[in-house]
Amino acid sequence: MSKKINVLVILFPGFNTLDMNGPLEVLTKSGTSDYFSVEVASETEITTSYEGVHVQRHKVLDDHLVKSAPAAYDVLVVPGGNGDKVNEQAAKLEGAFMKLVATFAISPPREFTPRVLLSICTGAFFPGNLGIFNNRYCTTHWENYQKLFTAVTEASIRTHGQPGKVIKSRFVDSGLNEAGVRIISSGGISCGLDASVYLVRLLVGEPEAIDVAEFLDYAWRQTDGVVFGEDFSDGRPSLANGAPNRSLRNRSRL
């Protein structure tokens, strides 16, 4: 594989540490660092998680990054966190954080590389508040199903779309949107690990996904996710060194 898949993780005050660390662990371990380059962006130099962990950013999350990110990154990971902090951040529709999520979701993929927006846990409220889940399936932490349903319904009214549907699952791949961006949401906290290993399978290949799960000594619950729509074999070049990227035929846990 000659070209790495560039991943950007965006943080806000009060984010959940595992929501960030889960994807980071998966995408930088057991050889997956050969495929993924991961950076962290935030509006502040140091961002403090809900658990009190301080994280230093690689990139400044500002209007410049909002404009440049689609040309530089292929995957955007949006962690969740403390409910009040998530609501506070999600309400800032004109802030750089929300503008980046919105811009990324409507930016077509770079040549030869799929584009993916992945929300973790309550991070679903960020795309949810922007109408990105309009007419799509999504999930979040089980305690917040009703709240997310309310959020996506209100967003659909603001954006003149059809409301999304919130379902119970460890992760949901709702397929490609009109811009060709794949929209994936994960359930609560540890579900981000399953979604991230699924992301490795989707973009790189099944052997690599199995390898990273084994290296992390993690029981990958790959059959507890739901996948809708077409996979990346629909005319896009395979990123698995010739191996087909197959959608999972997983069961819905409704």
pLDDT band at 249 (very low <50, low <70, confident <90, very high): very low
- Those residues whose C-beta lies under 8 Å from the C-beta of residue 219, and which sit 6 or more positions away, are 213
Task: Please say if the pLDDT value at position 8 is more than 60.
Answer: yes
Q: Phi/psi at 153 (nearest 5 deg)?
A: -70, -45
Q: pLDDT tens digit string along 121-151?
A: 999 999 999 999 999 999 999 999 999 999 9
Question: For position 1, what pLDDT does the model report?
Answer: 53
- Domain 5-227 maps to which CATH number in 3.40.50.1820, 3.40.50.720, 3.40.50.880, 1.10.10.60? 3.40.50.880
What is the rounded average pLDDT of the residues 200-223?
91
Under DSSP, is residue 170 helix (H, G, I), strand (E, B) or coil? coil
Mean pLDDT value across the chain: 89
pLDDT band at 244 (very low <50, low <70, confident <90, very high): very low
- Those residues whose C-beta lies under 8 Å from the C-beta of residue 242, and which sit 6 or more positions away, are none
**2 vs 17, higher pLDDT:** 17
Domain positions in the chain? 5-227
Question: For position 250, what pLDDT does the model report?
Answer: 36
Under DSSP, is residue 220 helix (H, G, I), strand (E, B) or coil? coil
Question: For position 229, what pLDDT does the model report?
Answer: 60
Q: How far apart are CA 61 and CA 63, in angstroms?
A: 7
Question: For position 15, what pLDDT does the model report?
Answer: 98
Q: Phi/psi at 235 (nearest 5 deg)?
A: 100, -15
Structure tokens at 224: 């507890």
